[in-house]
Structure 1
Amino acid sequence: MSNNGLIQHIRNPPKPSVPVVVICRLLLSAIPIAQIAIGSVYLEDCPRNHYIPIYLIVVGVLGVVLSVVSCLPGTRQRKDEPSTPLTRLCKIWNVLTSVFIFCWFITGNVWIYSIYKPDYKKNTTNIEQYCNKTLYLFAFWTTTLVYIILGLSLVCGCCILVCRFVFGYEDPDDG
């Protein structure tokens, strides 16, 4: 494949089929829905830091809302189309929500990692040190999963760049 073909492929990537998009959205919505459910069920079960279930509920709701908003018709703008008020509003919404999610994520990191390892056994002498094991470990691992995914993406991206430079594509005009 020549550089021109590759560049055209990057500029106009093939569109996935609707069933693939729907299945991916459902799978990606599973974690935010679980965050809402676990945060709601264990809302009062972490006296050590009562913000952890609230963190899970808010991040879960925002995840579901972003997933739903991205599926709405008219929220995507093609390069050759003029901007509409709806697409501008969606862009502003996405920027504001993304900034809030980033700040909320950092705050959640502080709340979760600052109490590592809470006491999982509830009794009258340590009630202030207690946090439900399911709640805490779910919050801990979903937060840690974000770092794992970011790390893997960074490593994969660097590998692709290195391969691209090492095994670069040869232009047919180059002799």
Structure 2
Amino acid sequence: MFMAGCAFLLIAAFPVGQIALGAVYIHECPVGPVIPVYMIVFGILALLMMVMFTQLKFLSPAAQSHNIWIICIIILLFLFFACLLFGSYHIYSIYPPNYNKNTTGSNSSTRKI
């Protein structure tokens, strides 16, 4: 039980870090003001999913049914996936990769040698 608690706290540090970074920089992102909000919501959803999964394991096995818990977990998974897509869109729309980069041109470092 001690090892499970330590693992939970170690894994929970990442969503807490996301929430903290999003809260600190909520008004300081000039390029994408929605990105800190995305980080906060994503961290909260991750913590909720972790709590739901652990509560499902700690419920007594003699309970009638876990259907309510399973429905809540499925809804949280859909929200988590939608938030991931939303955040990925906003992050990658700001920083598109340079597809026209010429690595074999005359400015290459191999030409200078």
Normalising by the residue count of structure 2, what TM-score does the alignment of the two structures yield?
A: 0.74
The percent identity for this pair of structures is 30
- Divergent runs of 4+, >4 A: none
Structure 1 stretches lacking a partner, 5+ long:
1-17, 118-175
Question: 1:93 pairs with 72, 82, 86, which one?
Answer: 72
Aligned to 1:107: 86
In the alignment, the residues of structure 2 paired with residue 36 and residue 108 of structure 1 have an alpha-carbon distance, to the nearest angstrom, of 14
Residue 35 (str. 1) matches residue 18 (str. 2): yes
In the alignment, the residues of structure 2 paired with residue 82 and residue 29 of structure 1 have an alpha-carbon distance, to the nearest angstrom, of 27
Deviation of 1:68 after TM superposition, in Å, equals 2.1
Q: What is the RMSD of the two structures over their aligned residues, measured on CA atoms?
A: 1.9
Aligned to 1:151: none
Report the count of equivalent residues.
Answer: 94
**SS of equivalent to 1:114:** helix
Question: 1:60 pairs with 17, 40, 43, which one?
Answer: 43
Query: Which digits, 9 at most, give the CA deviation of each residue in 1:54-98, with x for residues without a partner?
Result: 000001011112222322231x76xxx6742xx111100000000
